[in-house]
Structure 1
Amino acid sequence: MGNTDKFEMIAKRYDTPERIQIAKVSSDAISEYVVDAKSKKAIDFGCGTGLVGMNLLNAFHSMLFLDTSPNMLDQIKQKISDLNIQNAHTLCFDFEKEGLPGLRADYIFMAQVLLHIHDAEFILSRLFDVLNEGGHLLIVDFDKNEKVVSDIVHNGFKQDDLAEMMMKIGYKDVQSKTFYTGRGIFMGHDASMFILHSRK
């Protein structure tokens, strides 16, 4: 997945108060779409240090924290161990390089992950294959922001364009909304975040 090397370097100091706060508003937004999921399997895709997924653990039967950065996953493993969590597992894997045929989930969520992925449509297609029939994909990311200029991340997304791409893949009931605006939250710029919910 994009920018793995950078995340490898910052893993141990990733959990800043700002990131913890953004993760909290993101997981709160995701939780509004999680219904009767106590028997369901979830994947926190591109989980980083698990800040979002950890807030949602109790909603699901089990959660897989999936990332391409071993150092980030080491941080989660420590949290799982420290808190004696029984329903969480980790997997180091890169969907941009290969598929994982046996992997299945009822919910997949990705918070501020898509902006790091070069070919968003390709990854969203692979995640469609992972979802069980009727499963949910939830995306939290930044609205398109022309002030952000970067050669390593997308400068956000237009919600309509993203929805159109997903419907082309086969996702249905696609709906999205902007739910949070913050100062300096996107590479130093003021920005807004959206949540997109879809089903297979």
Structure 2
Amino acid sequence: MGNNDIFEMMANRYDTSERIQIAKVASDAIREYLVDADRKSAIDFGCGTGLVGMNLLNDFKSMLFLDTSQNMIHQIKQKISDFKIQNADTLCFDFEKESRPDLRADYIFMAQVLLHIQDTELVLSRLYDVLDAGGHLLIVDFDKNENIASDKVHNGFDQEILTELMSKIGFRDIQSKTIYTGSKIFMNHDASLFVLDAQK
């Protein structure tokens, strides 16, 4: 995944109060779309230090924390051990480089991850393949923001264009809405976050 070297360096100081607050906004938004999740498996895709996934751990039967950064995964393993969590596992893997058809999940969620992925269609297609029939992909990310110009990340996403792309991949029953607006939350710019739910 893009910017992996940056995340490797940030891992042990990633959990700031701002990130914890945004993670709560994201996990609350994701929770609204869960159905019978206590019998289902989830993947926290691009989990970072697991701020979002940890909030949702008790909602699911099992959860796989997946990230491209070994240092981020190390932070998660420490939390799993410290809190004696029984229903979670970890995997360090990069879906931009290869696919993992052996992985299966009922729910995949990704919070502020898509903006770091260069080939969004490729990765979303690979995640579609991982989902069981009827499974859901939930994305929390920034609305498109023309004030941001970066060669490291996308400047957010237009919800309609993203919905069209996901329909093309095969997702159905796609719904999205803006859930939060904050001051200086995206590369020091005011920005809004949306949640998108899509079903296989």
TM-score range, shorter chain: over 0.9
Alignment of 1:1-200 (within 5 A): 1-200=1-200
Which consecutive unaligned segments of at least 5 residues does structure 1 have?
none
Cα distance between partner residues in 2 of 1:101 and 1:145: 34
Cα shift at 1:101: 1.6
Matched letter for residue 50 of structure 1: G
Cα shift at 1:35: 1.4
Cα shift at 1:39: 1.2
Equivalent pairs counted in the alignment come to 200
Cα distance between partner residues in 2 of 1:30 and 1:135: 14
Residues 87-130 of structure 1: CA distance to partner in whole angstroms, max 9, x if unpaired?
00000000111111210000000000000000101100000000
Residues 63-108 of structure 1: CA distance to partner in whole angstroms, max 9, x if unpaired?
0000000000111111000000000000000011111121000000
Which consecutive unaligned segments of at least 5 residues does structure 2 have?
none
Cα distance between partner residues in 2 of 1:54 and 1:147: 32
Cα shift at 1:37: 1.1
Cα shift at 1:9: 0.4
C-alpha RMSD of matched pairs (Å): 0.4
Cα distance between partner residues in 1 of 2:14 and 2:54: 15
Cα distance between partner residues in 2 of 1:173 and 1:45: 21
